[in-house]
Amino acid sequence: MRKSRILAVGAVGIAAALALSACSGTGSGSSGDNNNSSSIGKVDGKGKTLTVWEMNGDLSTDTLNAINKEFTKQTGAKVKVQMQQWDGIGPKVTTALSTSTPPDVIDIGNTQVAGYAANGGLLDLTKYKSDLEQGGTWLGGLVDPATVNGKLYGVPSFAGTRAVIYNKKIWAAAGVTEAPTTYDELTADLDKVKAANASKADFSAFYLPGQNWYAGTQFVWDAGGQIATQSGKTWKGGFSSDAAQKGLNDFKKFENAYSVASARTLDTDKPDQDQVFADGKAGAILGNGWEIGSITTDNKSLTTDDLGSFPFPGTSGKNQPVMLGGSVWSIPVKSKNSQLALVWTKIASSPSIQNKYVYGVQKWIPNTVEGAKKAIEDPTLPEIQKGFFTAAQNSKSTPSSANWATIESTKAINQFFSSIASGSATPADAAKSFDATLEKTLNGN
């Protein structure tokens, strides 16, 4: 996904969490929702207009036109799409949700749902879940953060994620010509790449900054650990568990073995890991799909044929679970057209739209495991992108707490992983301290 989008959504949840108290309503219905059935069914919308807020850079005009055409065909209603900018979207959505005339459907970043749902701003879609899934298995990293206290408040739209990006030329020079599929194969390959470039003091077989908590969390999830767990309405930090401790130790061992020591206190942006990789100072990185374009721009002598991708294999014997970026469709609880909004949302998330447009036209990762698998079989999908579509099939998410944004905004989680990578704290001591921070923040204390 594009860097501008990733950076923009980080601030959304903060504004939502702080300002959502302005919203009212129970989150269980609206004046437009008088249907007690779990089936969405047919809705007569003649003479009505549905208002949809779409974020700039998400679904294309072709995709939206296809959704709207089918929606009008089914209901007779028209659609007004209002394009929104990421800058300042948090307060704007919060204000809209507190009014009596909000938009009917809103495109929301997947990890921002909890903030908007916290005080009843979004319609509870739980009873419609089966009908909305339409026989598919939604990607966990999209549906999990849209599920708050066991209730569904968002319908998956599309995803982007991270995978290993590697320089085929550098690996081939070290005698590695095929991508690894197991953790042991990965480390054996990296040992060869490391040995072949031992004379280069600033070279990383796998450049992995210590503050890269996205990567660190993958190791924890792969070992069976969790960031935090919820019992009732109470959150408990999860990094002190035996499983999480194994993951943290695996992360430290891997990072220390294959990345330069100077990166242990750094994040991915200073220096930009794409530039480090493009300059030939790294054999591999963990990056988003959009970073392929950044790399080939930073070094115009590199082409996509020189690069490869694969999901990060875990010590578990499976691919490491990944965190997804992406969007979901939510319906404001005060929408006057909630039944029409449900029809529109069902069409937007349908296999036909997902396969033909969200993937087929835009090459986003579609919202289901089945859709991602089908995309990989498409001969027109560039080889370099297949690793990302494979990785997305095993995904998780940050805790669905309205206060999670604070953890990210303070960079407490970045420093947590950096302290482990650098050795300034043991995994056990770092986890004890950070779990306390998680519990205090997520529980709003």
Rounded distance, CA 5 to CA 107, Å?
A: 13
CATH number, domain containing residue 72: 3.40.190.10
- What's the pLDDT score for residue 7? 35
84 located within any domain: yes
Q: Are residues 349 and 405 in the same domain?
A: no
- What's the pLDDT score for residue 89? 94
Query: Tokens 């990789």 — which residue?
Result: 277
Residue 438 has pLDDT above 90, yes or no: yes
- What's the pLDDT score for residue 43? 96
- What's the pLDDT score for residue 35? 53
Rounded distance, CA 352 to CA 330, Å?
A: 20
What number is the average pLDDT over the span 6-18? 33
Q: Are residues 212 and 298 in the same domain?
A: yes
The answer to whether 186 and 284 have CB atoms below 8 angstroms apart is no
352 located within any domain: yes
- What's the pLDDT score for residue 445? 78
38 located within any domain: no
Rounded distance, CA 337 to CA 30, Å?
A: 9
Q: Are residues 266 and 359 in the same domain?
A: no
Residue 260 has pLDDT above 90, yes or no: yes
Q: Are residues 188 and 263 in the same domain?
A: yes
Pairing of strands 395-396, 322-323: parallel
The answer to whether 241 and 225 have CB atoms below 8 angstroms apart is yes
What number is the average pLDDT over the span 93-109? 96
What is the arrangement of strands in the sheet containing 307-310, beginning at the earlier edge strand? 284-288, 162-167, 307-310
Helical residues (DSSP H) of 105-181, grouped into ranges: 113-117, 129-133, 140-143, 168-173
Pairing of strands 155-160, 307-310: unpaired
Residues of the chain above pLDDT 70, percent: 92
Rounded distance, CA 238 to CA 235, Å?
A: 9
Q: Are residues 194 and 236 in the same domain?
A: yes
Q: Are residues 419 and 339 in the same domain?
A: no
pLDDT in tens, 364-411: 999 999 999 999 999 999 999 999 999 999 999 999 999 999 999 999
Rounded distance, CA 23 to CA 121, Å?
A: 6
**Host H or E run for residue 9:** helix 3-9
25 located within any domain: no
pLDDT in tens, 155-169: 999 999 999 999 999
Q: Are residues 383 and 418 in the same domain?
A: no
The count of domains in the chain is 2
Q: Are residues 258 and 287 in the same domain?
A: yes
Q: Are residues 258 and 276 in the same domain?
A: yes
Residue 240 has pLDDT above 70, yes or no: yes
32 located within any domain: no
Domain that holds residue 184: 162-323+400-443
Q: Which of helix, strand or coil describes residue 40? A: coil
| Predicted TM-score (pTM) of this structure | 0.91
40 located within any domain: no
pLDDT in tens, 106-136: 999 999 999 999 889 999 999 999 999 999 9
pLDDT in tens, 139-188: 999 999 999 999 999 999 999 999 999 999 999 999 999 999 999 999 99
Exposure string over 418-437, b if 16+ CB within 10 A, otherwise e: bbbbbeebebeebbebbbeb
Rounded distance, CA 52 to CA 331, Å?
A: 9
**Host H or E run for residue 2:** none
261 located within any domain: yes
Residue 49 has pLDDT above 90, yes or no: yes
- What's the pLDDT score for residue 119? 82
pLDDT band for position 283 (50/70/90)? very high
Pairing of strands 228-231, 162-167: unpaired
Rounded distance, CA 22 to CA 169, Å?
A: 56
pLDDT in tens, 58-67: 999 999 999 9
389 located within any domain: yes
**CA neighbours within 13 Å on the CB side: how many for 344?**
33
Q: Are residues 173 and 288 in the same domain?
A: yes
Q: Are residues 98 and 131 in the same domain?
A: yes
Q: Are residues 239 and 287 in the same domain?
A: yes
The answer to whether 165 and 311 have CB atoms below 8 angstroms apart is no
pLDDT band for position 270 (50/70/90)? very high
Mean pLDDT for the chain?
92
Higher-confidence residue of 25 and 269: namely 269
- What's the pLDDT score for residue 365? 97
Residue 28 has pLDDT above 60, yes or no: no
Residue 79 has pLDDT above 70, yes or no: yes
Residue 416 has pLDDT above 80, yes or no: yes
